[in-house]
Amino acid sequence: MAQGIPDEVMMNTSLIKDLADVAKDSALLQGVLMRIEETPNASELVTYAPFTLFPTPVPKDVFLQALAVQTYYNTLVDQISRDTDFLRDALASTIAVDDFTARLFRIHEQILKEGRSQSIVLGLNRSDYMLDQREDGTSSLKQIEINTFAASFGGLSSRTPDVHRHILKVAGRLEESQRILDNNPAAGLAGAVAKAWELYGSERAVIMFLVEESQRNIFDQRYIENELWKRNIPTIRKRFDDVCKTGSLDQDKRLFVDGLEVAVVYFRNGYMPQNYVSEQTWDARLLMERSLAVKCPDISTHLAGTKKVQQVLARPGVLERFFPDQPQVVEQIRATFAGLYTLDMGPEGDKTVAMALAAPDRFVLKPQREGGGNNIYGSEICQVLEGMNESTERMAFILMDKIHPAPAHNFLLRRDAPLQISNCLSELGVFGAYVRQGKDMVMNECVGHLLRTKSSEHSDGGVAAGVAVLDNPLLV
């Protein structure tokens, strides 16, 4: 493991087994938990979140580069959400063929027609990267995507540094343990939510976490909730069904759910088509968007995080639209872009199809979907594109250069999984938080980071999807 944990430690079977036991106990003590499961006998089983036994080496220069560019990405997302013409033009081809994006866009248009009820905008996002390995052995930071909706693991990644510090100390690696960075995204994310609540201006109003029916990642959210309660800000957890049954607006468009006034709706559900199980669910989303409550994200910011927008931003001259007279900012953002290509109908899209069919292993085919496990790789790209080459269906996708990070060896600790060394690839996420009131940016910060690692045998999938595990960067 280059510049990380020495091979003699990694290959010491007895030591590894002992460290794994220590690691699991430490994870439970630190509260690195995914969920509480009900067992067949109706008792409850606490499940620790999957994580690596050792932290993964990450070059310090690219790590700092990712942190430094985050506030610019916050500004970019906010600017896009306010640029009606840009969103309409960028998403025109996608909404013509993708029903989910089209329905979101219709809500966006309705809100614009009625006029936005709330001038306060709250953004909690996470920009995800991989480190592309150059021929000379150095790494280049390349963005995979930016998540503007329900960007997760800010809570659990606030607890994992102490777990890896403890493991390294037990392993006799004191110097490495001191290079694990402090990291508390939960506090930073909660701080932005609290600022939006404060600006809303009603102490009796609550923050509503809109959550899924079945919670696989409940403790990640609980850390943010607890940070809010520390500030004496009340929170509630509701589902779409609760909003359908008890949600209403008064004459001032204040949102009430179960009789409580809602100052902030923090969406942790609603980013996938399957989240909208009925027309009533869509009605509930529209009700919340029309309300005076601060939405995180609002519908415009949701659309700003789509893959199609990401692809359009990579075109020459587009970033300059949002950062006029700021060439250094444009340069810093553009340096993180991987190759992104349109599949719209016409010569440019035809060229993209031919390029992908000729060398499918060089690319990733991406639909307009979130939640992990949706991307298409390798020979399957050929199957999908050949099946819709002359069809407008292809406009629902974009093509992206495949990033090739340097692998590292590690142990992935999962409940009921064998303890074995794996060839691993890692993905770095950086959390951003911003609050805008009218034209004034009240808060714009980088609030922490996340490292997720998976076995190199898996092409796609996150922690919640059961593929990746939580990790920490060991800066080298």
Question: Which tens digits make up the pLDDT trace of 363-413?
Answer: 999 998 887 778 999 999 999 999 887 899 999 999 999 999 989 999 999
**Res 1: pLDDT:** 44
Structure tokens at 106: 């219709």
Is 366 part of any known ligand binding site?
Answer: yes
Q: Is 371 annotated as a binding residue?
A: yes
Its CATH class, for the domain covering 339-402, is: alpha beta
Q: Which residues pair with 465 in a beta bridge?
A: none
Q: How confident is the model over 162-190, as a mean pLDDT?
A: 95
Residue 126 annotated among the catalytic residues of the structure = yes
Could you say which of 370, 394, 422, 472 is catalytic?
370
Q: What is the mean pLDDT of residues 293-297?
A: 98
Which of 145, 176, 225, 289 is an active site residue? 145
The lowest-confidence range among 1-10, 234-243, 406-415 is: 1-10
Q: Is 116 a catalytic residue?
A: no
Q: Taking residues 275-295, what's their average pLDDT?
A: 97
pLDDT of 335 > 90? The answer is yes
| Lowest model confidence (mean pLDDT) among 89-103, 154-168, 453-467 | 453-467
Does 368 show up as a binding residue in the annotation?
yes
- Residue 195, annotated ligand binder? no
pLDDT at 261 exceeding the cut of 70 = yes
Indicate the average pLDDT of the chain: 93
Instruction: Provide the token pair at 32.
Output: 């690195």
Task: Mark whether 393 is an active-site residue.
Answer: no
Binding site annotation covers 126? yes
C-alpha–C-alpha distance, residues 178 and 180, integer Å = 6
Q: Which of 142, 159, 307, 308 is catalytic?
A: 307
Catalytic hit among 371, 378, 461, 466 = 371
Rounded to the nearest 5°, which phi and psi values hold at 438? 65, -125
443 annotated to a ligand binding site: no
The question of whether 152 is a catalytic residue gets the answer yes
The answer to whether the predicted template modeling score (pTM) of the entire model surpasses 0.85 is yes
- Position 135 scores a pLDDT of 76
* Exposure string over 340-361, b if 16+ CB within 10 A, otherwise e: bbbbbbeeebeebbeebeeebe
d(CA 295, CA 288): 8
Judge whether residue 12 has pLDDT over 90: no
pLDDT class of 39 with cuts at 50, 70, 90: low
Q: Does residue 195 carry a catalytic annotation?
A: no
Q: Is residue 389 part of an annotated ligand binding site?
A: no
455 near 412, Cβ under 8 Å?
A: yes
Q: Which of 26, 123, 125, 126 is catalytic?
A: 126
- 377: annotated binding-site residue? yes
307 is catalytic: yes
Residue 2 pLDDT > 50, yes or no?
no
Q: How far is CA 124 from the centre of its chain?
A: 9
Query: Which among 147, 183, 410, 426 is annotated as catalytic?
Result: 147
Catalytic choice (366, 422, 426, 436): 366
Q: Is 30 annotated as a binding residue?
A: no
* pLDDT-based confidence at residue 40 (cuts at 50, 70, 90): low
Where do you find CATH 3.30.1490.50 in the chain? 339-402
